[in-house]
Amino acid sequence: MKSIYVTSLVVMTTAGTSAFAMQYLTVAEAQRVMFPDATAFKDVNLHLSDDQMHQVEKLSGLPGRSANWRVFSAFREDTMLGYVVLDDVIGKFELISYAVAINPDASIKQVEILTYRESHGFEVRNAAWRKQFSGKTIQSGLAVGEGIANISGATLSCTHVTDGVRRIAAIAQVALKK
Amino acid sequence: MMRRAQPWLGTLVDITIGDALDDIALMSCFNAAFARIAKVHRLMSFHDLNSDVSRINRASVGDTINIDPLTDEVIRTALAVAEASGGIFDINCAAKLIEWGYLPRLEEVLLECPSGRRCAVILESDYKAIKTEPACIDLGGIAKGYAVDLAIEELKQLGVQSACVNAGGDLRVIGDIAYSITIRHAERPTEAAGRIQIQDEALATSAGYFSRKSIDGREVSPLVNGKTGAPVTSTFSASVSASTCMVADALTKIVSATGDVNHPALTQFDATAFIT
């Protein structure tokens, strides 16, 4: 029975039309998943000063990249439960948007991927192509849960996400710690 | 059907739950499954100084290292696959991966690569490992598959009927519903080579398209043929299906190194392979 697999491989004829993309969670869903007890999320647009940027670079060992970060604080009534920080990273073939939940003590609580979009390298490196997915994730043209079948293939390293999380951990230490 | 993904084990781990559950039940199933993956990450990471793998790597010959039962199980399976493959699959080649820039050069870690199929550790009973060779191990070729198995077992225990757990291409499906899986094209990896249906089994794929590189004019990859010490630079993609993802994951390395889809190790572990 198992040998059927080899012959059942259907060769796709639509070469060149790669659309490996998946929307896992909207920002609102990620907020609920990461802080299920929260009753409200407040938009705190974080702006890092030059000094804070410098500290972030020193702590994370990575370029600070941006002074402006999209951050939400999570509240249960008047109690601050933590933060949700949004970010996207670009790899050789992929554009990944993700959310990091931060505890009030600045430790990382959880990381969730929001959207994953993969294409040919030249598209990913193209600013216009990336722009259609920016605005932090949601305009990806996909409904939640819609997207690619599971892919089996070589492991695509998620170094960019790992570095991104490390940078956000440093930002939390520098600018969000209570 | 609900899907979530988190970064673990150096890749994205994607979990699909097919059952119609309410939001709270779904959330606790996802969280429990990701917690199992996270545990494997903590125990078996090469990078984390507190992992079992790091403690083995930093130990001196003669030291006894207490390891978690999960790490014990992975190392035992790795040794069985090494034996079945005549040493092609080998967890003791981390020194090569450091040399080729795939693993970080950590302090206190010994940098010899043993020859003649000697393992860095002997496993005693009671989850004790005795360091026997001045080498360091890397479970990168098998731990992702094991993490997938643990997440699947957790979901089963929670009563989930239909699920797929995919750790960067090493995946396993449970339930009566078949899942459609896309296999990446070996030469154009952002395209599909084809689709297959998977039901109640594991499928792992190994290929070098994202990781092959050239160092001083020599092509290297993060996959070492333990028998020859040479990097596996085959340009095809090797997929193995088996009952567990740990075994499927490890066996892909043998098929990648040999190109042999009828390798005796596959029969021994009741697995099948194909190359694309």
**Spatial distance between the Cα atoms of A54 and A64, rounded to a whole number of angstroms:** 7
Q: Are residues B79 and B108 in the same domain?
A: yes
Residue B176, domain member (yes or no): yes
Q: Are residues B114 and B249 in the same domain?
A: no
CB contact under 8 A, B241 and A20: no
Closest-CA residue to B17 (of B7, B31, B36): B31
Residue B136, domain member (yes or no): no
Residue A4, domain member (yes or no): no
CB contact under 8 A, B3 and A22: yes
A/B interface, count of CB pairs below 8 Å: 155
Q: Are residues B125 and B157 in the same domain?
A: no
* Separation in Å, CA of B127 to nearest CA in chain A: 30
Q: What are phi and psi of A28, to 5 degrees?
A: -65, -40
Residue B188, domain member (yes or no): yes
Summarised one tens digit per residue, pLDDT across range B56-83 is 999 999 999 999 999 999 999 999 999 9
Provide the strand spans (E) within chain B.
Answer: 2-8, 11-17, 64-66, 121-123, 128-131, 163-167, 170-174, 179-184, 192-198, 202-206, 213-215, 218-220, 238-242, 272-275
Domain of residue B155, CATH code? 3.10.520.10
Residue B173, domain member (yes or no): yes
Q: Are residues B101 and B201 in the same domain?
A: no
ipTM of this complex: 0.90
* Separation in Å, CA of B67 to nearest CA in chain A: 26
Q: Are residues B34 and B96 in the same domain?
A: no
Q: Are residues B59 and B101 in the same domain?
A: yes
Q: Are residues B123 and B243 in the same domain?
A: no
CB contact under 8 A, A152 and B5: no
Residue A88, domain member (yes or no): yes
Give bridge partners of residue B192 from the DSSP assignment: B184
Q: Are residues B150 and B264 in the same domain?
A: yes
Selected residues 38-77 of chain B with any CB under 8 Å from a CB in chain A: none
Give bridge partners of residue B224 from the DSSP assignment: B231
Instruction: Using pLDDT thresholds of 50, 70 and 90, give the confidence band for residue B30.
Output: very high
- Contacts (Cβ under 8 Å, ≥6 apart) of A30: A84, A99, A112, A114
Give pLDDT, residue A6: 33
Which of B182, B237, B239 is nearest residue A149 as measured by Cβ atoms?
B182
**Spatial distance between the Cα atoms of A11 and B251, rounded to a whole number of angstroms:** 24
Q: Are residues B195 and B94 in the same domain?
A: no
CB contact under 8 A, B11 and A93: no
Summarised one tens digit per residue, pLDDT across range B220-272 is 988 889 999 899 988 899 999 999 999 999 999 999 999 999 999 999 999 99
Count structural domains, chain A.
1
**Model pTM score:** 0.90
Put simply, whether B138 touches A (Cβ < 8 Å) is no
Task: Show the DSSP H helices in B59-193 as ranges.
Answer: 69-84, 94-99, 143-157
Residue A120, domain member (yes or no): yes
Put simply, whether B274 touches A (Cβ < 8 Å) is yes
Residue A81, domain member (yes or no): yes
**Spatial distance between the Cα atoms of A101 and A168, rounded to a whole number of angstroms:** 10
Count structural domains, chain B.
2
Residue A10, domain member (yes or no): no
Residue B70, domain member (yes or no): yes
Provide the strand spans (E) within A4-39.
Answer: 20-23
**Residue that is last in its domain, among B68, B102, B131:** B131
Does residue B252 contact residue B237 with C-beta atoms inside 8 Å?
A: no
What is the domain range of residue A86?
18-176
What is the domain range of residue B71?
50-131
Domain of residue B127, CATH code? 1.10.3980
